């Protein structure tokens, strides 16, 4: 399991989560740059608080993508950290996607709930891997076991 099935599943799940986060960033940017206030016709992107949220979303997405890249590099040239990185992959990327899609919902407000941008679907889809085996809680237990020098199973 650790040699074949788990790495493929972990990396695949992490890649999907990074894709979900990226889609949420792009949808949020699209909304902020096109939507306008009715009374002033100012774009939502002119609000510094909303720009700061989209910047935080970008940083979290890039961080998750970099972590996934480190996992892939380690799988190509295995070393002592490879097993731990593989165990971290799904949890790290999923948690990032959950955070990013939550920020997208709050940043886009009612428009996100209306379905026009697909953000509500990304929000929902980002949460599915949390309960897919191995669950995020199980992944954290595996990571903790590995860090404490214990057998994983």
Other Cβ atoms closer than 10 A to 8: 11
pLDDT value, residue 115: 84
Residues with pLDDT less than 50, the chain: none
The structural domains of the chain, ordered by start, are: 5-147 (1.20.140.10)
pLDDT at 47: 97
Per the DSSP assignment, residues forming a β-bridge with 36 are 43
Q: What pLDDT was estimated at residue 148?
A: 96
Q: Three-class SS of residue 102?
A: helix
Contact of 78 with 72, CB cutoff 8 Å? no
Greatest pairwise CA separation for the chain in angstroms: 62
Structure tokens at 57: 């979303």
CA–CA dist 138, 126 (Å, integer): 17
Per-residue DSSP letter, 47: -
pLDDT the model gives residue 56: 98
């Amino acid at each position: 399991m650790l040699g074949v099935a788990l790495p493929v599943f972990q990396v695949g799940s992490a890649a999907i989560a990074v894709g979900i986060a990226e889609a949420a960033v792009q949808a949020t940017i699209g909304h902020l740059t096109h939507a306008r206030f009715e009374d002033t016709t100012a774009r939502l992107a002119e609000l510094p608080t909303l720009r700061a949220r989209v910047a935080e979303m970008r940083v979290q997405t890039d961080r998750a993508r970099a972590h996934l890249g480190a996992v892939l590099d380690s799988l190509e040239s295995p070393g002592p950290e490879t097993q731990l990185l593989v165990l971290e992959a799904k949890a790290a990327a999923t948690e990032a996607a959950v955070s990013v899609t939550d920020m997208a919902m709050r940043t886009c407000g009612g428009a996100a709930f209306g379905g026009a941008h697909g953000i509500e679907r990304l929000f929902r889809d980002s949460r599915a891997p949390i309960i897919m085996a191995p669950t995020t809680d199980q992944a954290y237990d595996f990571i903790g076991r590995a860090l404490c020098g214990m057998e994983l199973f």
